[in-house]
Structure 1
C-alpha cells in the first residue's frame, strides 16, 4: 500500500479532513435500498459502545453463518451494515429476525462495525447478546431499536 502525499497547495484543514474519518452523512451515500430501519447517528454511536463492551465479555457473534445459527437459538440485537454488497449475502437475516421477534437495525458502515468489534476486517453483521456487565447500555440500545419503524 502506498502513502498519499500531502498536496503543498492544499490548506491544512482539507488535508486532515480527507485523511480522517468519514462523517455520518458521507457514509449514508453508500447505503443499500434494503437498509431499513437505519440507526440515527446517536443510536449508531450507542451501538458501537455496546458492541465494544460485549466484545470484552465475549457476548457477540459476527459473520453471516455464525449469526444465522444464533438467531435460531436466542436473544440479542442484530446489527447489520448498510453498505454491504451484494445484498444477497445477508438479505435473509431481517426476515429471520422478524419471524422470531428479534430486533435488528442497520448502521452505515461495515468497516466501522468491524472496528467496533475489535477486528481489522469489515463485518456485515453482528449479534449482541445481553449480559449483566453492560445490561444498562444494552437495554438502552434495545429500547431505541425497537422504537424504530420496520421496513414494509
Structure 2
C-alpha cells in the first residue's frame, strides 16, 4: 500500500514538474532583474556554479554573499530574478557596483539552488575563481561584465 502511493506521487510529480522553458521563467522575474542572462549564458552560469560547488569556491545565500562582498571578496554574483519579496536582495546590485563586482540575474531561484547541489531555492550565489575552471570563469566574467547595467 505504501509503495503504491509513493510510486503514484512520483508519476504525478513528473507530469507537473516538467522542465519549464526559459521564456515562461523569464516572464515571472521581478522588474528590477536587469541585466537578465540569456538562455545560453544561464546554462553556462549553472555549469560553472556546479564546478565551483565541487571545489568549495561558492558562496550561497543572501547573508553569506553579503558578508563576503563587504569583506572585499571578488567573484561573479548571480541573483535569482524571481525572488519574492524583492526587498531581500534589492540593495545588493548597488553594493556590487560600488565594489566593482560583475553581477547578473537568472530567471529561476529553483534552478539556481539545484545548480548549487541543494534542493532548496537560492536567491543569490557568488562564484569565486579557481584554477580548475579558470577558462570558463574568465569567459563568463567578461560576458557578465559586458552586460549593460540598468540606469
TM value normalised by structure 1 = 0.89
Q: Secondary structure at the match of 2:136?
A: helix
- How many angstroms apart in 2 are the aligned matches of 1:4 and 1:60? 31
Equivalences for residues 74-113 of structure 1 within 5 A = 74-113=73-112
Shift of 1:5: 6.9
- How many angstroms apart in 1 are the aligned matches of 2:140 and 2:111? 17
- How many angstroms apart in 1 are the aligned matches of 2:21 and 2:46? 15
The alpha-carbon distance between structure 1 residues 5 and 61, as it changes in their structure 2 partners (threshold 3 A), is closer
The alpha-carbon distance between structure 1 residues 98 and 120, as it changes in their structure 2 partners (threshold 3 A), is same
- How many angstroms apart in 2 are the aligned matches of 1:128 and 1:23? 24
Shift of 1:29: 1.5
1:54 aligns with 2:60: no
- How many angstroms apart in 2 are the aligned matches of 1:105 and 1:123? 14
Shift of 1:3: 3.0
- How many angstroms apart in 1 are the aligned matches of 2:42 and 2:24? 14
Alignment correspondent of 2:27: 29
- How many angstroms apart in 2 are the aligned matches of 1:69 and 1:134? 24
Uncovered stretches (5+) of structure 2, i.e. residues with no partner:
1-5
- How many angstroms apart in 2 are the aligned matches of 1:130 and 1:19? 33
Q: Secondary structure at the match of 1:3?
A: helix
TM value normalised by structure 2 = 0.89
1:3 aligns with 2:1: no
In the alignment of these two chains, the number of paired residues is: 143
Shift of 1:80: 0.1
Taking only aligned residues, the RMSD between alpha carbons, in angstroms, comes to: 1.8
Alignment correspondent of 2:67: 69
Shift of 1:70: 1.1
Which consecutive aligned stretches of 4+ in structure 1 deviate over 4 angstroms post-superposition? Answer: none
Structure with greater helix share of residues: 2
